[in-house]
Structure 1
Amino acid sequence: MVSPPPPALALHGLTKRYDGGLLALDGFDLEIPDGAFFGLLGPNGAGKTTLISAVCNLIRVTGGDLRVFGLPHDSLEARRLVGLAEQDVNLDRFLDVRETLVYHGGYYGMTRRRAQARANEMMDVFDLRGKAGVRAPQLSGGMRRRLLLARALMHEPRLVILDEPTAGVDIELRTELWTYIRRLHEGGTTILLTTHYLEEAEALCEEIALIRDGRLLARDSADGLRAAYDAETLQDVYLRAMAG
C-alpha cells in the first residue's frame, strides 16, 4: 500500500510569544495538503504574518512543530521548497531587475548559467524584460509587485506563500496576476494566500481558514463556511467570525 504524500505544510501546537508578552500564535494547528490552493484570512494582528515568518525561518517560534513536505522547516531542503512574495516591498534598491533575480537564484544554489536562464523566463512571464536594467526604486508600484512574485518563483519552489500579493495594484494587474497564479497552481504548486480582498480568496482558493488572536477559528470551502455561519456572503462569514 502506497503511503499518502506528506502535507505541504504541517503546523502542530505552534506558539509564538514575543518579548514583552504578546502571544501571536497560541497552540496553532494547521495542515495544508500538497497541491492545495489555500487561503488564510484574518484582521491585522491575527497572527498571519507571524505564521508566515515562522514557516520562512524569519523568526524563531516559542514552541510547537513545523514541517514542510514532511521535513523540518529549518532544514536546508525545506527552505529550498518554499518561495515567499512578501506584503512589504523589500527589494534591494541597488540591484536592477535582472540582478535581483539572478542573485536570488544564487542564494538558493542555482548555477549562474541556470539563474540567468531562469531570470529570463521570469522576466518574460511577468513582462519585465524591458525593465531588466532598471533598479527597484525606479520601478512603478505594479512593476515592483511583478518583481516580488518573479523573485519568489525563481528557485521553482513547491510551496509558494503570497502575502497580500495584489495589495495596491490596479484591476488590470490584479486580473493578470490571478491568471498566472491559477496557472501556477494547475501545474502542481501548493499556494498559501493571505489577502484582505474576500472576493480574491473566494475566486482563487479551494479552502479558506479564518484566524483571529493567533487561533484557528474555522476552515472549509467558501460554500462550507457560508453554510457553517448561516451567511449569504463570505463577507458576512468574516464579520460574524471576527465579531465572535
Structure 2
Amino acid sequence: MGAIEVRDLFKYYKGSSYPALRGIDLILDTGEVLGLTGHNGAGKSTLMGVINGSLAMSSGVVRFDGVDLTPMLARRCTATMDQMHAPLKGVTPSSAIRVAAEIRGASQSAADRITNTLLEYFEISEYADVRSEELSGGVRRLVAFCMCECQGARTSLLDEPTNDVDPRRRKLLWSYIREQATGGRSYIVSTHNVGEVSQYTDHQVVLSNGSVVYDGSSLSRASSHGNNVYVDVQGSCKLEALVGKLGFDRVRLHGNQLVVPRQHVERVIGLLMDDGEEGRNTVIQISRTPGFEALYDELARGEDYHGH
C-alpha cells in the first residue's frame, strides 16, 4: 500500500461532457519522488487538485495510507506549490515563509528557525527583507517552494517548481527534494522539463488527454518488450549527419541517444566507429532501456509503452 493510492479516478468539470481525468490509477510510495508530465491540458494540475482536496472528484478512490480522502485529511497530509506565483505582494520572503509556517502550526521560534534554514539552503538570504515586487521571478518561485516546504508535510505536490529558477538553484531545489525523500517524505512533481524528470525522479507518469499513457521507471522500461535498442553516444561524432546517412526506417535521435531497430544495430555501430578521427574518439553504450526523453518523444508520436 502506497502513501497515496488513486484508483479509477474521473473528474468532469461543470458543463463539460468530456472528462478532464479518465480512469486514473496511480500509486505514490513513501519516500518516492514521482515525476508527472504530459502536454498542456493533459490533466496534471487537475490530478494534483483532486489529491490535495481543492477539487472534488466525480468518481473513483483516493486514499492516504489506506484511508479515503477527505479535504481535512488532504490538508493534514499534503502541501501544494501551485503553478502560478504565490501572492506575495507587499511582503518579504522572510515574512511570507514565517507566516506560512505559523499557519501550519509552528511556534514563532520554530517558524524563525525554519525560515532562516530554508533561505540559507537556497542561497537567497540576501533577499530575506526585500519586498516581493523587487524580486526576480526565480527568487519568487523559490520563496513559494519554501512556503510549501516549511511545514514538512508527508507529501508535497509541486507544480512546475523550477520555472524561472536559475541553474544553480535548480540543482539545490532537486537536492533538497532528494534529501527529504530519503527521510521518508513523498513528492509528486509536475513539470514539462523531461530532462529533470529523467534525472531526479524515481517514478515517471505521463498523462495525455486525462489518461495515463505511461507509468513506470527506468527498471520497468528495461523490462518492456520492444524492438528498439538505445545507443548512447558520447564524443564529437556528428550524429545528425550520421542519421541522415543511415536511411533505416525509424532510426531517430534524441539528444545523444539513437533509437535503432534491433536488426540494424551492428551496422549503426560500424558506421559510428568508422567515422574517422571522430569515430575513434567516440564512446558508445548500448541499452534496451530508453532514456526518458526518448520515451516521452515516442509517446508523443503515439507509440505504445507499458511500464506497469
Report the TM-score, using the length of structure 1 for normalisation.
0.88
One of 289, 293, 298 as aligned partner of 1:235 = 293
Amino acid in structure 1 at the alignment position of 2:33? F
Secondary structure at the aligned position of 1:193 is classed as strand
Residue 40 of structure 2 aligns to a residue whose secondary structure is: coil
1:9 to 1, 4, 17: 4
Q: Is 1:109 aligned with 2:167?
A: no
Change (3 A) 1:237 1:60: same
Aligned ranges for residues 33-182 of structure 1 at < 5 Å?
A: 33-182=29-178
Relative to structure 2, which stretch is displaced further, 59-68 or 127-136? 127-136
CA contact (8 A) 1:80 1:108 kept: no
1:20-39 equivalences under 5 Å are 20-21=15-16, 22-39=18-35
The alignment's C-alpha RMSD in Å is: 2.0
Q: Which residue, 12, 16, 19 being the options, matches 2:14?
A: 19
162-171 vs 10-19, greater mean Cα deviation: 162-171
1:184 deviates by 2.0
Aligned residue type for 2:8? G
Counterpart Cα distance in 1 of 2:171 and 2:124: 17
Output the CA distance in 2 between the equivalents of 1:71 and 1:88. Answer: 30
| Structure 2: runs of 5+ lacking an equivalent | 229-258, 260-289, 303-308
AA in 2 matched with 1:165: P
Moved more, 117-126 or 188-197: 117-126
Q: Which runs of 5+ in 1 are unaligned?
A: 1-5
Aligned equivalents of 1:143 and 1:168: distance in 2?
8
Q: Which runs of 4+ in 1 moved over 4 A?
A: none
Matches of 1:96 and 1:202, distance apart in 2: 34
Greater alpha carbon shift after TM alignment, 46-55 vs 114-123:
114-123
Q: Kindly tell me the number of residue pairs found equivalent between the two proteins.
A: 239
**Larger relative contact order, structure 1 or 2 (CA cutoff 8 Å, min sep 6):** 1
**Contact preservation (8 Å) 1:15, 1:27:** yes
Larger Rg: 2
Query: Within 1, Cα distance between the matches of 2:56 and 2:220?
Result: 34
Alpha-carbon distance, 1:226 to partner: 6.2
Q: Secondary structure of 2:79's partner?
A: strand
1:214 aligns with 2:210: yes
Q: TM-score, normalised by structure 2?
A: 0.71
How far apart, in 2, do the equivalents of 1:219 and 1:80 lie? 27
Deviates more, 1:51-60 or 1:172-181: 172-181
* Secondary structure, counterpart of 1:23 in structure 2: coil
